[in-house]
Amino acid sequence: MKDGSVEIENRPGGMSGHAAALLVRSLRPRQWAKNLLLFAGLLFSQNLFEPTLAGRAVAAFVFFCLLTGGIYLLNDVLDYERDRLHPQKRQRPVASGALSRTTATGVGLGLLLGTLAGAFALAPGFGWTALGYAGLLTLYSLGLKHLVIVDVLVVALGFVLRAVAGAVVIEVEISAWLIICTLLLALFLTCGKRRHELLALEGDATDHRPILAEYTPQLLDQMIAVVTASTVLAYALYTLSAETVEKFGTRWLPLTIPFVLYGIFRYLYLLYRHELGGNPSELFLTDRALLLDIALWALTVIAILYFA
């Protein structure tokens, strides 16, 4: 250990266990829940129980988890000074000095290049989508995150690319409904996160994320209201459309709307009543009501699409 930073040891056996644990923590495993969107194409193409395609989707999920983990590491290096001012992010291994920026940069670049090579080997279309995702996040880190409104749209597009990647890797049609519903839901969560950051950090908000100076709670409340209504409406129209009924041969999909409504209302309740929402992925993993709601939605969709 040197200057409070953990370095990779130059001895047989490679990296120390403590350094490896810090690296795994920096990959943010809890954030990997976002990558479950890759299974949307598999689920709604009615290929969930097709072993070959399911295997490709699982491989794509693993690649995206490692890819996003590498990007998180590189972002921690780029945002080192700013994260040290954040009440929670200052505890991250890189920001706290427990993990050296040299180590984080090397591992991050290795993961980024390695997973992109693997993605192209799995399926060229999937590789290009993964590369587009990495490029979008790079542009975000280099400047797009400082453009008001554009910042939340770029984050939301990252979610859309996850869903597209899941469809491309199994070579099924990319539905316009998939893109619309994913974009709106991602905007809903991103605006909620911005609102939480703005209020939780108070006077220090702009030190952590300068773009927050361009937002007000009232503006974000209006944006949340718009995307909330749009998300529910888009999903309802999807389940009711003649195109959907013809594709799946069932009119029962609207039965899943109550689960979507409850999930959105539950998130709003946690955001406004309990001042949560700064980390939507972690919220979905820790709030039992949301977990149960998502599980029931998924089971209902499977029952309707595969057994009705």
Q: Domain holding 118: CATH number? A: 1.10.357
Does residue 122 sit in the same domain as residue 237? no
Does residue 281 sit in the same domain as residue 238? yes
Which of the listed residues 148, 173, 198 is the one where a domain comes to its end? 173
Distance, in Å, from the CA atom of 192 to the CA atom of 83, rounded to the nearest integer, reads 20
| Burial classification of residue 11, based on how many CB atoms lie within 10 Å of its CB (0-12 exposed, 13-18 middle, 19 or more buried) | exposed
Does residue 7 sit in the same domain as residue 155? yes
Is 180 in contact with 187 (CB distance < 8 Å)?
no
Residue 2 DSSP SS3:
strand
Does residue 8 sit in the same domain as residue 48? yes
Two structure tokens written together for 188: 């809903």
Which of the listed residues 173, 206, 237 is the one where a domain comes to its end? 173
Does residue 22 sit in the same domain as residue 141? yes
The parts of the chain modelled with pLDDT lower than 50 are 1-14
Q: Which residue has the tokens 């040299």?
A: 102
Q: Give the distance from CA 262 to its chain's centroid.
A: 21
Does residue 206 sit in the same domain as residue 153? no
| Burial classification of residue 54, based on how many CB atoms lie within 10 Å of its CB (0-12 exposed, 13-18 middle, 19 or more buried) | middle
Does residue 164 sit in the same domain as residue 187? no
Q: How many domains does the chain have?
A: 2
Nearest Cα to 71, choosing from 170, 158, 192, 196? 158
> DSSP secondary-structure letter at 241?
S
Radius of gyration for the alpha carbons in the chain, expressed in angstroms and rounded: 20
Give the bridge partners for 123, in sequence order: none
Range of the domain at 248: 175-308
What pLDDT sits at residue 25? 87
Does residue 136 sit in the same domain as residue 218? no
Distance, in Å, from the CA atom of 122 to the CA atom of 52, rounded to the nearest integer, reads 12
Which residues have CB under 8 Å from 154's CB, separation 6+?
136, 139, 140, 144, 145
Is 251 in contact with 239 (CB distance < 8 Å)?
no
Distance, in Å, from the CA atom of 156 to the CA atom of 163, rounded to the nearest integer, reads 11
pLDDT tens string 163-196: 999 999 999 999 999 999 999 999 999 999 999 8
Nearest Cα to 231, choosing from 156, 147, 133, 289? 156
Distance, in Å, from the CA atom of 170 to the CA atom of 205, rounded to the nearest integer, reads 42
What pLDDT sits at residue 5? 41
Does residue 1 sit in the same domain as residue 95? yes
Which of the listed residues 173, 198, 215 is the one where a domain comes to its end? 173
Does residue 126 sit in the same domain as residue 193? no
What pLDDT sits at residue 214? 92
Is 172 in contact with 47 (CB distance < 8 Å)?
yes
What pLDDT sits at residue 3? 42
Does residue 82 sit in the same domain as residue 99? yes
Does residue 33 sit in the same domain as residue 120? yes
